[in-house]
Amino acid sequence: MKKLSLLLGIGLSVTILSAQTPCEAGFAGIWPCSNIDMWSFMTLSEIGGGDNTNDVWGWTDSDSGREFALIGKNTGTAFIEITDPLNPVYLGSLATQTTPSLWRDVKVYSNHAYIVSEAGEHGMQVFDLTQLLTVDAPPVVFENTAHYDGFGDAHNICINEDSGYAYGVGTDNMNGGLHIVDISDPTNPVVAGGYSEDGYTHDAQIVNYMGPDEDYAGKELAFACNEDNIAIIDVSDKADCQLISHMDYNEPGYVHQGWLTEDHKYFLSNDEGDENANGTPTRTFIFDVQDIENPVYMGLYEADNNAIDHNLYIIGDLVYESNYRSGLRILDAGDVENANLAEVAFFDVTPDNDNASFSGSWSNYAWYPSGNIVVSDMYDGFFVLKPTIFKVNPEAPVIGCDTDELNFTIETEVDFPGSFDITMQGLTGASLVSSVFDAPGSTEVTVSGLLGLENGQHNFEFVLTSTYGAYKALASVVKEGGMPAAAQLLSPDDISQVEAMPVLFDWAMDANADSYHLEVASDITFTTIVVDEVLTTNSYNWSAIVDNGTYYWRVTSTNECGAGPVSGLYSFQLLLPLSVEEGEQAAFNMYPNPTASHITLSANSALGLVTICDLEGRIVKSINTTEITLNVDLSALAAGSYVINTNHGQQKLTLIK
């Protein structure tokens, strides 16, 4: 399996990284660790109090990139912003629907959180997460956006984001099986069906199947952990779900939860009861599900401690396990096809022991674009962590406008088999010169082509690929003093009318610009330029004596690196009051020009015959009027240039539509 793991490196600002708690000599502060740094920790009281935390999930606002953690507690759900991972902000909580409960579970679909609990008559809370973007004075007390009461209590909620269906499991109906809810309209959940024939389901993953078994291509399948087995169920028809097959292994304690590899070829599961019932170490079970009707148990991975395993998730070639008292464990699944897993990182949230006890890390969430991971600790609070399986140095170098090339060092302490080829993605216009990388160790790579970068921080990824697997390491570069951006024109705004001099030209200030080049022309091609000024301010008064008509203007920002992009083009109609002599001479006027749909023609006497011709001389519209002012509808004409003729003084004007 050669899929890319999600965002393993580090690449935020030097200031942030220097203040984090790095994993050094096996510890990050008091917490045992390997290849994982701690960004921050918040106690249970700091996130609203309660007796315990439980589930954790995450949400990223796609427009702003802001990141949030959703932490279940016995009293409700806490919302924490972790955009600055060193300084997480507790925004507030949504109280439990009925009574407190040890168990609470939350998932996300279409910017809404869906929350269930084993509290009696709790149902499913629906919460619009976009509310978190506008909290001004945290913490606040939140309320439901909507509520679903098709079931009372539920152990868990599972969501297939590709289909828009939520699956309540361990509910007080459907025999504890799958209770299916249509959430395609996020705040109007509607029961869609269910499956009860196979008994109680504790947890599940539901996917639109894209694995190698062509008989089930595109089907919606549930992989349900049912205490003593794992059931594969076809839930494509919500009113007629069908059991396909079972997966099992010898002497299960309590088949708890599991997750598919991203290629849907393998399923990894955990057992919450075998450590106590059978006296085994922490075990991860591996199944080949390439034939959906005949899944095959392949073997297992045993950890070096006896902590109870609880929740695991797979991203790329990495398995993120929350194993209660041994904390977050990250396993490399690059060789899962041979039933091989290997631990590459861990962070132990309960440093005193790794006993088989129900305390410590309940769950984790690792899908943030930043590469951060949030981990819940049942009785202490929650952590924001960052894996350092691959480290990139420097973390976020600052470059100026004349820097075209940078050297980065990539290193790892993990003994990966084979050599890595290194490529790069996400940095437009740049290229990479690299050497072969043998782990453990380090290698230097050169990134060139940086002159064209705009100002600001640019995040990108080094992709490390071997025959064993492929991984990503985050990197950043900060451009300062580069080319200025295109100027934003303000006034006179586009297609406006100006009836007095001077004309004030105004545009937005650019902190990166040293000067501005203003140009004003009487034609759209800027052949006849009437203003040509280089200014250090973002405004200019034009008081020259000119003829009425249409004028065009633009601004180019410049600095020591050169000229930025030319701004957009604005036009305006100059309509100064005419003297009697000027009025006798200026017999015929029109505005606005250019126009989208209408023009106004005016003269100091009757207009007479007016004709509008295309550039080949064909008449496309004609009007004969005794009026001195006329509004003409041009909406039927195609966009282009036209000539307006009048027998009023034998004048001609060029019109642009």
Tokens at residue 459, please?
Answer: 């995040």
> Quick one: average pLDDT of 296-315?
96
Mean pLDDT computed over every residue of the chain: 90
Amino acid at 466: S
Assigned token pair, 544: 């020259």
pTM of the model: 0.73
Confidence of residue 608 (pLDDT cuts 50, 70, 90): confident
In this predicted structure, what is the pLDDT of residue 583?
40
pLDDT of residue 226: 96
Model pLDDT, residue 561:
80
Dihedral angle, C-alpha 166, 70, 145, 155, nearest 10 °: 40
Average pLDDT of the residues in 342-370 = 94
What fold is seen in the domain 393-479? Immunoglobulin-like (2.60.40)
User: For 497-538, how does the pLDDT look when each residue is reduced to its tens digit (9 = 90+)?
Assistant: 888 888 999 999 988 889 999 999 999 999 999 999 999 999
Q: Which of 133, 168, 130 has its CA nearest to residue 151?
A: 168
Q: What is the mean pLDDT of residues 479-500?
A: 87
Residue 489 binned pLDDT confidence (cut-offs 50, 70, 90): very high
Strand order in the sheet with 140-142: 53-60, 67-73, 76-81, 89-95, 140-142
Please give the C-alpha separations between residue 58 and each of 51, 297, 350, 530, 582, in angstroms, as whole numbers: 22, 32, 22, 57, 71
C-alpha distance from residue 261 to each of 252, 420, 463 (Å): 22, 22, 19
* 212: nearest Cα among 291, 317, 298: 291
Structure token pair of residue 211: 């694995």
Q: Percent of the chain at pLDDT above 70?
A: 94
Q: Give the model confidence (pLDDT) of 368-397 as tens digits.
A: 988 899 999 999 999 999 999 998 999 889
Residue 266 has pLDDT above 80, yes or no: yes
Please spell the DSSP secondary structure of 173-240, one letter per residue.
Answer: SGGGSEEEEE-SSTTS-EEEEEE-TT----EEEEEE--SS-GGGTT-EEEEEE-BS-EEEEE-SSTTS
Evaluate the omega torsion of the peptide bond into residue 484 and state whether it is cis, within 30 degrees of 0: no
Fold of the 202-357 domain: Methylamine Dehydrogenase; Chain H (2.130.10)
Answer whether residue 2 shows pLDDT above 50: no
Task: Give the whole-angstrom CA distance, residue 6 versus residue 72.
Answer: 24
Q: By percentage, how much of the chain surpasses pLDDT 90?
A: 69
Query: What is residue 4's predicted lDDT score, i.e. its pLDDT?
Result: 42
617 pLDDT more than 80: no
Q: Sorting pLDDT into bands at 50, 70 and 90, what band is 217? A: very high
| Whether the predicted pLDDT of 3 surpasses 60 | no
Bigger pLDDT: 324 or 624? 324
Q: Please give the pLDDT value at position 600.
A: 86
Q: With a cut of 90, say whether residue 227 has pLDDT above it.
A: yes
Residue 359 has pLDDT above 60, yes or no: yes
- What's residue 634's pLDDT? 85
**Which residue would you say has higher pLDDT here, 5 or 298?**
298
Name the residue with higher pLDDT: 447 or 543.
Answer: 447
CA angle 16, 19, 25 (to 5 degrees): 120
Structure tokens at 177: 């099986």
What are the residues whose beta carbons fall under 8 Å from the beta carbon of 511, sequence distance 6 or more? none
Alpha-carbon distances, residue 519 vs 60, 248, 480, 546, 550 (angstroms): 43, 76, 27, 15, 14
Report residue 413's pLDDT band, with 50, 70 and 90 as the boundaries: confident
- Provide the residue ranges of all domains of the chain, joining segments of one domain with +: 35-196+359-389, 202-357, 393-479, 489-574, 588-656
Closest CA to 284 of 332, 348, 232: 332
635: confidence class by pLDDT, cuts 50, 70, 90: confident
**Given a cut of 50, is residue 16 above it in pLDDT?**
no
Name which of 95-104, 154-163, 201-210, 591-600 the model is least confident about: 591-600
pLDDT at 203 over 50: yes
Band of pLDDT at residue 647, cut at 50, 70 and 90: low
Q: Which residue has the tokens 């003084």?
A: 649
On the question of pLDDT at 653 being above 90, the answer is no
Determine the topology of domain 489-574 in CATH: Immunoglobulin-like (2.60.40)
pLDDT of 582 over the 80 cut: no
Q: What is the number of helices (H) and of strands (E) in the chain?
A: 3, 56
pLDDT band of 656, cuts 50, 70, 90: confident
Beta-carbon contacts of residue 579 (< 8 Å; ≥ 6 apart):
none
| pLDDT for position 471 | 84
79-131: per-residue pLDDT in tens? 999 999 999 999 999 999 999 999 999 999 999 999 999 999 999 999 999 99
Q: How confident is the model at residue 578 (pLDDT cuts 50, 70, 90)?
A: low
Query: Does residue 6 register a pLDDT over 70?
Result: no
| Tokens 């034998």 belong to residue | 650
pLDDT of residue 651 exceeding 70: no
Query: Do 393-479 and 588-656 show the same overall fold?
Result: yes
pLDDT of residue 18: 30
Contact 551, 530 (CB under 8 A): yes
pLDDT of residue 127: 98
pLDDT at 592 over 90: no
- Tell me the fold of 588-656: Immunoglobulin-like (2.60.40)
